[in-house]
Amino acid sequence: QDSPLKAVQMLWVNLIMDTLASLALATEPPTEALLLRRPYGRDHPLVSGTMLRNILGHAAYQLLVIFT
């Protein structure tokens, strides 16, 4: 079965997605407090409680909009 995207098209998709991700990371200026904070440990959760609540809230809102 033939791939839906050719190699050059995959490179363009990768370039565009990486550019958008780097712009998203570059929107917040670095602060001294951010540079001085210690790294998170291995046992620290990747998704905090606030993040999980926001993710679930947005998912519920999107499902509500889609189904109505």
pLDDT tens-digit readout, 57-66: 999 999 999 9
13 in a structural domain: yes
42 in a structural domain: no
pLDDT given at position 52? 95
C-alpha dihedral sign at 38, 39, 42, 47: positive
8 in a structural domain: yes
57 in a structural domain: no
Range(s) of the domain holding residue 13: 1-26
Percent of the chain with pLDDT over 90: 35
Pick the closest to residue 5 from 21, 24, 16 (CA basis).
16
pTM listed for this prediction: 0.47
5 in a structural domain: yes
Average pLDDT over residues 22-35: 81
Residue with tokens 């998709």: 13
66 in a structural domain: no
- Rounded to the nearest 5 degrees, what angle is found at the Cα of 22, between the Cα atoms of 17 and 28? 140
- Rounded to the nearest 5 degrees, what angle is found at the Cα of 18, between the Cα atoms of 46 and 60? 50
Domain count within the chain = 1
Give the other-Cβ count within 10 Å of 44's Cβ. Answer: 8
pLDDT given at position 65? 97
pLDDT category at 24 given cuts 50, 70, 90 is confident
2 in a structural domain: yes
